[in-house]
Amino acid sequence: MIEFLKQPWPWYIAGPLIGLTVPALLILGNKSFGISSSLRHICASCIPANIPFFKYNWKKEVWNLFFVFGIFLGGAIAVNLLSNPVAVQVNPKLTAELAGYGITNFTNLVPLDIMNWHTLFTLKGFIMMVVGGFLVGFGTRYAGGCTSGHAITGLSNLQWPSLIATTCFMVGGFIMANLILPYILSL
């Protein structure tokens, strides 16, 4: 059984399991699936400031903090107890393309050539980690939720804003991966 859990799950198993999270949360607790709102709940509970954005009943949403902690705990258990020592297979075309940008050192799927403390203090590393992190956070707040909230919950509830947000996430991802990222990696 443990060996089965160590293997990558195919999309037709993992996808429906993620999809069933939405009705399970709605049926069991009348809750919406989403992760990005947890940062707001943490700030509202920890910052005793008089900021209107953080003045709401965050205790009503404490379940979301337990949900996010469960994701973290599940990830920690998976990494420590269920890790597969076999390297993840990457398409040879992608490996060759990344090698063209000088990215050859991987730990599973993490490109250590650009994701480490040393490169954080270079222009490329600063753009990738700091500017990229800011843009993800800003975009999440501007879109009123993250990809999981919009693409999984919003679309399953047939919400028009979630369709627009998910479409923009996908278009932005294609533009980033095919036009902007190659330029940044060539710096």
Q: How far apart are CA 77 and CA 92, in angstroms?
A: 30
| Averaged pLDDT, groups of 10, the chain, 187 residues long | 77 87 86 82 83 86 90 89 77 87 77 83 88 88 84 86 92 92 84
Q: Any idea what DSSP says for residue 23?
A: H
In the structure encoding, which two tokens stand for residue 37, read together?
Answer: 């709102």
Q: How far apart are CA 66 and CA 35, in angstroms?
A: 11
Give SS3 for 111.
strand
Match 């996430």 to its residue by tokens: 169
Q: What are phi and psi of 111, to 5 degrees?
A: -80, 100
In this prediction, residue 108 carries a pLDDT of 67
In this prediction, residue 164 carries a pLDDT of 93
Distances (CA, A) of 155 to 91, 107, 140: 31, 34, 16
In this prediction, residue 73 carries a pLDDT of 95
Q: How far apart are CA 110 and CA 116, in angstroms?
A: 10
Pairs from 87-94 (Cβ < 8 Å, separation ≥ 24) = 88/8
Task: List the beta strands (DSSP E) in the chain.
Answer: 106-107, 110-111
**Helix 37-46 crosses helix 62-81 at what angle (to 10 degrees)?**
110
In this prediction, residue 163 carries a pLDDT of 94
